[in-house]
Amino acid sequence: GKNEDLKQMLESSKDSSKLDAMKRIVGMIAKGKNASELFPAVVKNVASKNIEIKKLVYVYLMRYAEEQQDLALLSISTFQRALKDPNQLIRASALRVLSSIRVPIIVPIMMLAIKEASSDLSPYVRKNAAHAIQKLYSLDPEQKEMLIEVIEKLLKDRSTLVAGSVVMAFEEVCPDRIDLIHKNYRKLCTLLVDVEEWGQVVIIHMLTRYARTQFVSPWKKDVVEEYNENNFYESDDEQKEKDQKVKKTYVMDPDHRLLLRNTKPLLQSRNAAVVMAVAQLYWHLAPKSEAGIVSKSLVRLLHSNREVQYIVLQNIATMSIQRKGMFEPYLKSFYVRSTDPTMIKTLKLEILTNLANEANISTLLREFQTYVKSQDKQFAAATIQAIGRCATNITEVTDTCLNGLVCLLSNRDEIVVAESVVVIKKLLQTQPAHHGEIIKHMAKLLDNITVPVARASILWLIGEYCERVPKIAPDVLRKTAKSFTNEDDLVKLQILNLGAKLYLTNSKQTKLLTQYVLNLGKYDQSYDIRDRTRFIRQLIVPNEKSGALSKYAKKIFLAQKPAPLLESPFKARDHFQLGTLSHTLNSKATGYLELSDWPEVAPDPALRNVEAAEVVGRHRWNVEGSTSQVHIFGFQVSRKIFYVFYSDSEDSKKKAKGITKKRNMSSSSDSEASSSEESSSDSKSESDLQSDSQSGKPGRAASKEKKKKKKEEKKKKNGKGLAAHYHFSRQPCIFGERMVSVQVTVTNTTDQKIENIHIGEMKLPAGMRMHGFNPIESLEPEGSITVSMGIDFCDSTQTATFQLCTNEDHFNVSIQPPVGELLLPVTMSEKDFKKEQGMLTGMNEASATIAVAPQNSSSPVIIERVVKAANLGVVPSGQDNIHRFAAKTVHSGSLMLVTVELKESSTAQLIINTEKTVIGSVLLRELKPVLSQG
C-alpha cells in the first residue's frame, strides 16, 4: 500500500519513529484524508508506555473504530484495565475513550463501566461518566431506562464538577422526567455559581423549563406583597373580606425566588452564553418589574464580536417588541455605524423601530435620515420600511414621515425610490382622503421608475383611488396599455386591475382602453395573466353567460380594503424560548424543548423538600464564590460548631434558630453526634441552645455569653448579633502545606452594618500556627460572608483559640479539630497499601473488634460512614468483606491506614496502622461508634 513507510515506522522498536508516524497520521486525519488502512498497525500501540503515542492512538481510535469494529475490539481490554487504575485521571481518560468508540458490541461493557464510574469516589471520574451516558444513549437508545437510573443517581451528586455534565445528559436522554429534578432543584440552584461556565448555561436552561411547570405565573399581579394596614373604622366583617383578598394576591414561591436570586450574579459572567442564559431566564420567569435588570448586561455584550452581537441583537429585538421600557434607556447604544456589517445594521434598526415612541421619535427620525443616505442601499431600503412603521405606529408623526418619504421619491437611487413608493402606498391606505396630491405626484413618477414592485404599487394606488384623480387615471392606463407587453408580470396584473376599476367607474373614457388591455392579457405568455384576464372580463363585461356576480363587480373591486399592518418581523419569534437556536432560526430546531405555560395551580412545593439529612448539606457558603466548594470525593463534609455572640430581640432569636436548624454534626464524638441530631426540628432547636449553653464544650461558651447578653440587652430596642459557624472544607489548604483548611461563615443577624471583622489575639499551643482570614471591612445587615483560614494543628487535637473582633467588641473563639479532619486522603493501590501496612506493624498498629449494626454492613454504607467521619481516601479492594482507607496527616504527612474487615456474626475487625500512634488510637476510638450505631 501507499502508506508502507508509516506501517514500518509503527512496527519499529523506537518510540521516536512510532511517534513521528502517529503525528503524520493525525495530520492526515486532520486534513480529512483516509487513514483507515493503517488500523491494525496503529491499534497495536494502544498500550504504549509513551503517553503522547498513546494519546494519538486514542485520537485515531475514536476516528476509525466505528469503521473497523472487529479490530477495535482488540483495544478494549487495555481500557478495561485502565478503568481500575488507582489514578483518577487515568480512570477518567480510559472511560472517555472507551465510551467514544462507537462499536455496538461493547454496549454491555460500556454500561458496566458507566455504572461503576458513577459511584467512583473521584468527582472527575463521575463527570466523565455523565458524558459517557450521552454517548452510550446515542449508540444504543434501548439502554435508556438503565441510563436514567444512572442519571438519577448522578443528579444527587453534590460536586460542582458533575452538575453541568449530568444535567446535559438529562436534557439529552430524558428531558421529560421533570420528577427527577424536584429533590435536586434547591441544590442545583445553590451550586450554580460554582459550576463551570458551560455547565451553568445548560443548568439555567433546564431550570427555566422546570420552573415553568412548577410555579404559578408572577405576571398576573405584579404586587408581591401587600401589607394590610388595620383600618380603625372598618367593621370586622369588612376586615375579614379584605384579609381574604390579601390572601389571593400573588406571593412568589420561595423556590422560585431562590432561582432568580442565585442566577442574578451570573449576569456578570465573562461568558456571553451565560449572560444570555440568565437574561432569558429572567424574561421567562421573573416578575415583569424585575426583568429590566438584564438589559444593562445584554447591552454590554454589544461590545463583543459580530457573532455575539448578532445573536444578542436578535434576542433584544424580540424582547423590545413586548417590553419597550427595558431597552429605552439604551436607545443610543443601538445607533448604527457605517462600519457595522449589514446584518448588524438591520437588527439595530429593527430594535430602534421597536423602541420608537412619541418622546423619542423626532430624535430617531433625525438618525434615520442619516441611514437613508447610507451607501449600503440594502440598509437604506430597510430604513425606509422602518420609517413607514414608525409612521403607522405613532400617529403624531404620520404626516412628517409621509412628507419625508415623498422627498425621497426624487432620490437618485432607484432602490430607495422603489422602497419609498411601496411604503407610501401602504401609508396612504391608512388615510387616503388627504393625499390626492401625493398620488398625483406618484403618477408622474411612473415615467421614470423601472423597479416592478414600485410600478405595481403606483398603479394599484391610482386604480384604488381613481375617483380622486379622475383626470390622471385614464391617462396612466393609456400609457401603460402601450407598454403592457414589455412590463413585468407584477406590473401587468396591476394594469389589468387598473383597467377593471376604471371600467367600472369611468367606462365612458376607458371602455376601449380596458378592452384593449384585456385582449393583450388574453394572449399573454403567463397563464396567471391569462387566467386573471378571463376572470376580470367575466366580472366586468356583462353578457348572457355572466351570472349574478357582475352586478356586484363594483363592490368586489372597489371594496374598502383593510390597511396592511406594518409589523416587526420579530413578532412571531416570541413563542420560542429566547437564547435558543430555534429562536434564531425562527423555526423549531431538532430537539427543541417547548417551554410550557405556567400552571394554573402550582404542583405541591413539598416535592422539592429533601430529607433532613440532606437539607443540612445546603450550606450558605455554597453560594459564596468559587473558592468555597465543599466537596471532596463525593461526600458532603461539614462539621461546625455554632456560636452566637449576642442577640436579644425576638427577631434575631428566630434567626438564631434558623442557624441552629442547619446544624450538622457537632464536633464532639459523644452521643450528640448521632444522626438524629441532624434532623433537629424547629421545636428542638431551642433546647439545643439550652444544652449548648450548659455543656462546657468549645464554642459553647459563646452561647452562654449570648444568654447573658440577651438578658442585659433586652431593654434596648435594637439588638445586635453576629453568628459564625465554621467547617472543615477538606481541601488542601492554600495558606500552607501543613495547615488544615477551615472555612468560617460570618452572618450579621442585626439590622445594622457590622464593621471591621478581623482576627485579634491568637492563643495557640506551642508549635501551632494559624493563617487568619483577610479582615472583612463591613458586613451589611442580613449579610453573610465566608472566609478561609488555615490552622496548623501539628497533628494534634489541641484547641486553637483566637479572638474574633469587630469595631466595637471582641469574642473568644475556640476550634478543636476532630481527629478525622487532621487528615488528607491518599490514593493508592491495594498492593501498595499492603506493602505500607507491612512496614507499620507492632507498636504502629492499633486494632479493635466491634459490633456492626446490620444496616451498616453493606459496602457503600461502610465507605460512606467511614469517609464521612474521617477524611480518608478509599483504596480499591479485591475482597468484598475488607475495606481499606488511606490518608496522610496534614502536618507531618505520616501515613494513616485504616482497614475494616467484616467477620461473622455482625462483628468487624478495625485496624489502624500509623507512626502517629496517639492520633491513631484517637481515630480508632472515634471510628468505633460510627459503624456500631444504627
Partner 1 sequence: MIHSLFLINCSGDIFLEKHWKSVVSQSVCDYFFEAQEKAVDVENVPPVIPTPHHYLISIYRDKIFFVSVIQTEVPPLFVIEFLHRVADTFQDYFGECSETAIKDNVVIVYELLEEMLDNGFPLATESNILKELIKPPTILRSVVNSITGSSNVGDTLPTGQLSNIPWRRAGVKYTNNEAYFDVIEEIDAIIDKSGSTVFAEIQGVIDSCIKLSGMPDLSLSFMNPRLLDDVSFHPCIRFKRWESERVLSFIPPDGNFRLISYRVSSQNLVAIPVYVKHMISFKENSSSGRFDVTIGPKQNMGKTVEGVVMTVHMPKAVLNMNLTSTQGTYTFDPVTKVLTWDVGKITPQKLPNLKGIVNLQSGAPKPEENPSLNIQFKIQQLAISGLKVNRLDMYGEKYKPFKGVKYITKAGKFQVRT
| Binding residues for partner 1 restricted to 620-659, rule: CB under 8 A | 624-629
Show contacts with partner 1 in window 4-23 (CB under 8 A).
14-16, 19, 23
CB 702, min distance to partner 1, A: 24
Cell numbers describing residue 595? 417551554
Transcribe 198-212 into DSSP letters: HHHHHHHHHHHHHHH
CB 776 within 8 A of CB 756: yes
Transcribe 370-381 into DSSP letters: HHHT-S-HHHHH
Per-residue x/- marks for partner 1, 345-384, CB under 8 A?
----------------------x--x--xxx---------
Show contacts with partner 1 in window 215-254 (CB under 8 A).
none
Nearer to partner 1 by C-beta: 375 or 486?
375
Nearer to partner 1 by C-beta: 134 or 796?
134
Measured CA to CA, the distance from residue 639 to residue 632 in angstroms comes to: 14
Per-residue x/- marks for partner 1, 105-144, CB under 8 A?
-----------------xxx---x--xx-xx--x------
Residue of the chain from 312, 496, 659, 702 that contacts partner 1 (CB under 8 A): 312
Residue of the chain from 2, 248, 337, 561 that contacts partner 1 (CB under 8 A): 337
Eight-class DSSP state of 774: P
Nearer to partner 1 by C-beta: 63 or 284?
63
Residue of the chain from 31, 561, 711, 717 that contacts partner 1 (CB under 8 A): 31
CB 243, min distance to partner 1, A: 38
Residue of the chain from 48, 78, 208, 269 that contacts partner 1 (CB under 8 A): 269
Q: Give the phi and the psi of residue 886 in degrees, each rounded to 5.
A: -135, 145
Partnered with residue 561 across adjacent β-strands are none
Per-residue x/- marks for partner 1, 530-569, CB under 8 A?
----------------------------------------
Show contacts with partner 1 in window 576-615 (CB under 8 A).
579-582, 584-585, 587, 589-593
Residue of the chain from 42, 275, 491, 500 that contacts partner 1 (CB under 8 A): 275
CB 500 within 8 A of CB 510: no
Nearer to partner 1 by C-beta: 196 or 832?
196
328 binds partner 1 (CB under 8 A): no
Eight-class DSSP state of 624: S
Nearer to partner 1 by C-beta: 177 or 296?
296
Nearer to partner 1 by C-beta: 196 or 677?
196
704 binds partner 1 (CB under 8 A): no
- Selected range binding partner 1 among 247-255, 273-281, 561-569, 811-819, rule: CB under 8 A: 273-281
Transcribe 383-429 into DSSP letters: HHHHHHHHHHH-GGGHHHHHHHHHHHTT-S-HHHHHHHHHHHHHHHH
Residue of the chain from 8, 12, 77, 87 that contacts partner 1 (CB under 8 A): 87
Cβ contacts of residue 747 below 8 Å, gap of 6+? 620, 659, 722, 723, 724, 783, 784
CB 586 within 8 A of CB 576: yes
Residue of the chain from 41, 109, 201, 791 that contacts partner 1 (CB under 8 A): 201
CB 438 within 8 A of CB 406: yes
Residue of the chain from 44, 242, 288, 300 that contacts partner 1 (CB under 8 A): 300
CB atoms within 10 A of CB 918: 12
Residue of the chain from 311, 326, 421, 665 that contacts partner 1 (CB under 8 A): 311
Show contacts with partner 1 in window 709-738 (CB under 8 A).
731-732, 734-735
Nearer to partner 1 by C-beta: 295 or 913?
295
- Residues, the chain: 934
Cell numbers describing residue 219? 405576571
CB 457 within 8 A of CB 422: yes
CB 55, min distance to partner 1, A: 6
CB 248, min distance to partner 1, A: 35
CB 168, min distance to partner 1, A: 6
Using DSSP's 3-state secondary structure scheme, residue 713 falls into: helix
Residue of the chain from 56, 294, 458, 476 that contacts partner 1 (CB under 8 A): 56
Give the H/E segment covering residue 301. Answer: helix 295-301
Nearer to partner 1 by C-beta: 581 or 602?
581
Using DSSP's 3-state secondary structure scheme, residue 445 falls into: helix
Measured CA to CA, the distance from residue 62 to residue 65 in angstroms comes to: 6
Nearer to partner 1 by C-beta: 248 or 270?
270
Residue of the chain from 74, 343, 541, 558 that contacts partner 1 (CB under 8 A): 343
Residue of the chain from 265, 470, 599, 767 that contacts partner 1 (CB under 8 A): 265
CB 266, min distance to partner 1, A: 9
Show contacts with partner 1 in window 145-184 (CB under 8 A).
161, 165, 168, 172
- Torsion from C-alpha of 178, 180, 186, 189, nearest 10 degrees: -70
CB 15, min distance to partner 1, A: 6
- Closest residue by Cα to residue 422 from 602, 564, 311, 286: 564
Render the burial of 84-115: b for 16+ CB within 10 Å, e for the rest: ebbebeebbbbbbbbbbbbbeebeebbbebbe
CB 661, min distance to partner 1, A: 23
- Selected range binding partner 1 among 85-93, 464-472, 533-541, 823-831, rule: CB under 8 A: 85-93
Q: Both ends of the chain: CA-CA distance in Å?
A: 69
Nearer to partner 1 by C-beta: 132 or 804?
132
Show contacts with partner 1 in window 394-423 (CB under 8 A).
411-413
CB 37, min distance to partner 1, A: 16
Show contacts with partner 1 in window 764-823 (CB under 8 A).
771, 774, 777-780, 783, 785
- Closest residue by Cα to residue 301 from 293, 310, 292, 290: 310
707 binds partner 1 (CB under 8 A): no
342-355 and 306-322 are packed helices; what angle lies between their axes, rounded to 10 degrees? Answer: 20
- Selected range binding partner 1 among 97-105, 108-116, 230-238, 713-721, rule: CB under 8 A: 97-105
Residue of the chain from 177, 332, 551, 571 that contacts partner 1 (CB under 8 A): 332
Per-residue x/- marks for partner 1, 746-775, CB under 8 A?
-------------------------x--x-
Radius of gyration of the chain (CA): 39
878 binds partner 1 (CB under 8 A): no
Eight-class DSSP state of 548: G
Q: How many residues bind partner 1 (CB under 8 A)?
A: 117
Measured CA to CA, the distance from residue 675 to residue 869 in angstroms comes to: 12
CA angle 873, 878, 879 (to 5 degrees): 100
661 binds partner 1 (CB under 8 A): no
- Closest residue by Cα to residue 744 from 720, 775, 769: 775
CB 33, min distance to partner 1, A: 10
Partnered with residue 849 across adjacent β-strands are 909
- Closest residue by Cα to residue 914 from 934, 931, 897: 897
Nearer to partner 1 by C-beta: 277 or 689?
277
Measured CA to CA, the distance from residue 420 to residue 424 in angstroms comes to: 6
- Selected range binding partner 1 among 44-52, 638-646, 663-671, 838-846, rule: CB under 8 A: 44-52
- Torsion from C-alpha of 247, 248, 253, 254, nearest 10 degrees: -30
